[in-house]
Chain A
Amino acid sequence: MKVNRYQLFTIIPVAALLILGLVGCQKEEAAQPAGLAPKVMADAIHAVLEADRTVYTKQVITRLVKKEKVIKASEQFEDDKALPLPAQMFRFGSELVAEKDSGFSYSLQSLWPINKQNEPKTDAEKKGLQYIADNPGQNFYTEEELGGTTYYTAVYPDVAVASPCVDCHNDHKDTPKTDFKIGDVMGGVVIRIAM
């Protein structure tokens, strides 16, 4: 098929418009990634973390250590042949997740940390932990850029659900706060999802 000069003048602009249109569509699609919205995913992850943490604290630590008094819970649980503390169980889980490169990470932090490595560090963590302390029962959501990657960052209140939580924190040598009560926000669970 032969294409004359006039037809060429028509085809080129139409093709250019089509290509631009396609690129535009692709851009629009990229702005709305498929799958769960990060907030829904973060909330779901937190629901599981919070449930497991509460079960371990109440059904294992409170029952065996406080009520039945059959075993101790200790930060040095290997040397003391004791149960790991709830915060340690939480951290061990987060470390295993970190090894799997699952696209998200989580940690337990506090404005009053026993281990100074767990105090808020990024601006989002600082704002988020302050927000959940000032607004009991509410979560904090934001986006932040770390090392060239954008993260959806969610901060959830970590509440003292049983007496071992407050006893251990109030009595610890390194605690900066000694008057926690059951029901207090002691810290926050920070979940990060890479965007």
Chain B
Amino acid sequence: MMAFFASIEQNPIGTWVRESPSLLAFPFILFLHTLGLAMLAGLNIGLDAWLLGRRKLPPFELANIYRVMWVGFGINALSGVVLLAAYPAKALTNWVFFAKLLCIVVALWVLQRLKGELAIAAGAAERDVSAHARRLAFASLLLWTATIFAGRLLAYTHHILLVSEGLS
């Protein structure tokens, strides 16, 4: 397994991200990861907060909000893969990383379920916020909080940084 991580570490993109002194390498990719988080998790939390603060849902158009969130997810996924290519062992030998991935997958599933609940409200009249929609919004808040904690704590809980250079 370590030989596999070492081979990934030597890929040109990962090496560039890790070793380039350019601000467009590791620093900018980290920024993109944060920007994607704000677009996806931020807007999802904004929707959750809005929904939890209401008794009635008005008919409204979701398409553009979801479009922005999916662009955020795309930015996050791409920047995440590049960061993983730079430090594969750091993430893949740490259970916190897998906990983060699990939280993201479940949060995205909840986001889609929430879309179903909100889309029902896109009829002609206002309708009550269902207990199910509230539960989904609350679960979404917890899942994104757990994702963010896991993401930050990755930097403090890894056992291996780089396999190929024997650093740990």
Chain A complexes with chain B: no
Q: Which residues of B contact A (CB under 8 A)?
A: none
